[in-house]
């Protein structure tokens, strides 16, 4: 009962803080900006997305006209814009209830680029103008070559409709790119490196446990019901249940591959166990749990045998390793291999709903920041003694040597914000202003990172659309 009461107070506190934040900004103009002021199309990509963001959700449609000037490239010969512009103007509509819209710039086939070519886009006009204004980031430069961004501000598009954490958002600092992905789009990830490992989707509250059997056809609904009755093996348990979710039923918080619930996949097919797997949408009804057995394929990949525990027909799918990515991903619900993470060197942090720890037990929560530890990213926290803005701007190359970097996946985690004063947390709700972070990216650059708004307290932001600022340390 104590856990339930704490959870109710926590939820109420967040709701009150969010409502106060909405009231604070309800009479301010909605600001219209490019999502990034600098974008590049490197040799591995054939197109780039140019996005326009609103500072908060609008209650009416907004028409945006974008003009552009091309340097050393010709529309229709070297590139095309989708949808097609009219009289050198791209017309966009951001529908009521949305916060962004985008268009694509595509390279034409068989065209070679030197890397000096570019297009500058400008937000020229908006309609209506009442209640809206064009912001400072009204220009965006697209380069036909890889860029190493000197830094930017990004509004992370985790919100979809009324759901504050529908997406997880992958961020690549050096290219000023964010990639929102439906957090429920996969259940299991398959390591693409030399080892054979299976990871659980913490963003989908996925849990797993060994059945103790190696023959999937012998795993029954009765086995699942017995697992659900035992607190040590009940993958449907939640923090609000009497015992909570056992920590051994989720992957290690630090993202280390030797801390997965699934044991390393053995070359001996008979040695690999069958596991019960359940995600957020499947947990409440034991009949919807999955039984899953993973073995190695002859093609240096994986073969997955799976079915609902109430089903007798076993499905099989082969998962190939992709050497440019950390993992390949499978949705058990759709039976499809999913495109989720960007390439292993093309993202640095991920924001979203994920697993953390509360009162010593696993807890699934909003606004978690994970680093690309498998790809090689590391993070260090910088303590602020006076004003975060000034100390952030002053931090430079000479300060790097004093930092203690961590390769833990949740090296930032929930450390950057306070969403409740319950459980011993101190300070006001929202972003902690006594710290910022330094990220070492997989490709060896250093960016300092701080959080601007998140929609709690009086920061004027919107929950599910945090604003981050990052700067290349050079």
Boundary residue ending a domain (289, 309, 338): 338
Shared domain check, 369 and 459: yes
Shared domain check, 344 and 334: no
Tell me whether residue 8 is in a domain. Answer: no
Shared domain check, 230 and 253: yes
Shared domain check, 240 and 334: yes
Retrieve residue 229's tokens: 């009755």
Tell me whether residue 9 is in a domain. Answer: no
Residue 424: pLDDT above 70? no
Shared domain check, 332 and 273: yes
Boundary residue ending a domain (319, 338, 357): 338
Boundary residue ending a domain (294, 320, 338): 338
Query: Which tens digit of pLDDT belongs to each residue from 310-365?
Result: 998 999 999 999 999 999 999 999 999 999 999 999 999 999 999 988 777 888 99
Tell me whether residue 122 is in a domain. Answer: yes
Retrieve residue 395's tokens: 């931090």
Bigger pLDDT: 242 vs 309:
309
pLDDT mean over 425-435: 83
The domain containing residue 78 runs over which residues? Answer: 14-147
What pLDDT score was predicted for residue 350? 98
Question: What does the alpha-carbon distance between residue 453 and residue 244 come to, in Å, rounded to a whole number?
Answer: 32
Tell me whether residue 380 is in a domain. Answer: yes
Shared domain check, 198 and 96: no
Shared domain check, 197 and 333: yes
The backbone torsions φ and ψ at residue 433, rounded to the nearest 5 degrees and listed phi first, read -95, 10
Across the chain, what does the average pLDDT equal? 91
Tell me whether residue 1 is in a domain. Answer: no
Query: Which tens digit of pLDDT belongs to each residue from 184-224?
Result: 999 999 999 999 999 999 999 999 999 999 999 999 999 99
Provide CB contacts within 8 A for 445, sequence distance 6+.
148, 173, 174, 472, 473
Shared domain check, 462 and 417: yes
Shared domain check, 152 and 142: no
Tell me whether residue 176 is in a domain. Answer: yes
Q: What is the CATH number of the domain that holds 96?
A: 2.60.40.2030
Shared domain check, 240 and 227: yes
Shared domain check, 137 and 170: no
Tell me whether residue 5 is in a domain. Answer: no
Question: What does the alpha-carbon distance between residue 405 and residue 184 come to, in Å, rounded to a whole number?
Answer: 31
Domain count of the fold of the chain: 3
Query: Which tens digit of pLDDT belongs to each residue from 16-69?
Result: 334 444 444 445 899 999 999 999 998 888 999 999 999 988 899 999 999 999
What pLDDT score was predicted for residue 115? 87
Shared domain check, 170 and 103: no
- The 3 state secondary structure assigned to the chain is CHHHHHHHHHHHHHHHHHHHHHHHHCCCCEEEEECCCEEECCCCCCEEEEEEEECCCCCCCEEEEEEEEEECCCECCCEEEECCCECCEEEEEECCCCCEEEEEEEECCCCCCCCCCEEEEEEEEEECCCCEEECCCCEEEEECCCCCCCEEEEECCCCECCECCCEEEEEEHHHCEEEEEECCCCCEEEECCCCCCEEECHHHCCEEEECCCCCHHHCCHHHHHHHHHCCCCCCCCCCCCCCCCCHHHCCCCCCCHHHCCCCCCCCCHHHCCEEEEECCCCCCCHHHCEEEEEEECCCCCEEEEEEECCCCCCEEEEECCCCCCCEEEEECCCCEEECCCCCCCCCCEEEEEEEEEECCEEEEEEEEEEECCCCCCEEEEEECCCCHHHHHHHCCHHHHHHCCCECCCCCCECCCEECCCHHHCCCCCEECCCEEEEEECCCCCEEEEEEEECCCCCCCCCCCCCEEEEEECC
Query: Which tens digit of pLDDT belongs to each residue from 285-318?
Result: 999 999 999 999 999 999 999 999 999 899 999 9
Tell me whether residue 196 is in a domain. Answer: yes
């Amino acid at each position: 009962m104590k856990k339930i009461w704490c959870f109710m107070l926590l939820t109420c506190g967040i709701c009150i803080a969010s409502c106060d934040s909405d009231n604070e900004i309800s009479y301010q103009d909605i600001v219209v900006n490019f999502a990034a002021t600098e974008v590049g199309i490197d040799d591995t990509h054939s197109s780039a997305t140019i996005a326009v963001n609103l500072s908060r959700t609008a209650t009416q449609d907004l028409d945006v006209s974008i003009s552009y000037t091309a340097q050393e490239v010709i529309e229709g010969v070297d590139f095309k814009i989708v949808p097609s512009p009219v009289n050198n103007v791209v017309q966009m509509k951001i529908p009521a209830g949305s916060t962004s819209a985008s268009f694509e710039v595509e390279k034409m086939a068989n065209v070679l680029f030197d890397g000096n070519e570019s297009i500058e886009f400008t937000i020229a006009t908006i309609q209506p103008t009442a209640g809206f204004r064009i912001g400072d980031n009204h220009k965006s430069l697209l380069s036909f070559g890889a860029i190493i961004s000197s830094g930017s501000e990004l509004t992370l598009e985790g919100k979809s409709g009324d759901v504050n954490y529908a997406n997880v958002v992958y961020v690549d600092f050096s290219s000023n790119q964010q990639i929102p992905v439906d957090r429920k789009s996969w259940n299991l990830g398959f390591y693409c490196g030399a080892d054979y490992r299976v990871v659980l989707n913490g963003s989908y509250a996925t849990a797993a446990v060994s059945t103790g059997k190696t023959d999937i056809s012998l795993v029954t609904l009765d086995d699942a019901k017995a697992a659900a009755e035992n607190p040590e093996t009940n993958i449907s348990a939640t923090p609000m249940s009497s015992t909570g979710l056992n920590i051994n039923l989720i992957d290690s918080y630090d993202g280390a591959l030797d801390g997965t619930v699934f044991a390393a996949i053995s070359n001996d097919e008979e040695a690999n166990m069958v596991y019960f797997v359940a995600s957020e949408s499947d947990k409440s009804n034991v009949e919807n749990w999955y039984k899953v057995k993973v073995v190695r394929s002859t093609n240096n990949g994986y073969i997955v045998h799976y079915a609902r525990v109430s089903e007798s027909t076993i499905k099989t799918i082969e998962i190939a390793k992709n050497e440019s990515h950390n993992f390949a991903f499978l949705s058990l619900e759709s039976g499809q291999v999913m495109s989720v993470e960007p390439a292993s060197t093309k993202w640095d942090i991920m924001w979203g709903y994920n697993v953390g720890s509360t009162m010593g037990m696993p807890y699934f929560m909003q606004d978690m920041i994970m680093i690309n530890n498998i790809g090689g990213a590391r993070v260090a926290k910088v303590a602020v003694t006076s004003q975060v803005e000034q100390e952030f701007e002053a931090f430079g190359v000479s300060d790097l040597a004093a930092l203690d970097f961590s390769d833990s996946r949740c090296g930032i985690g929930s450390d950057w914000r306070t969403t409740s004063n319950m459980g011993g947390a101190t300070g006001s709700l929202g972003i902690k202003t006594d710290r910022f972070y330094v990220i070492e990216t997989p490709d060896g650059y250093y960016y300092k990172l701080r959080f601007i708004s998140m929609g709690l307290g009086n920061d004027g932001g919107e929950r599910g659309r945090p604003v981050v600022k990052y700067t290349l340390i050079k």
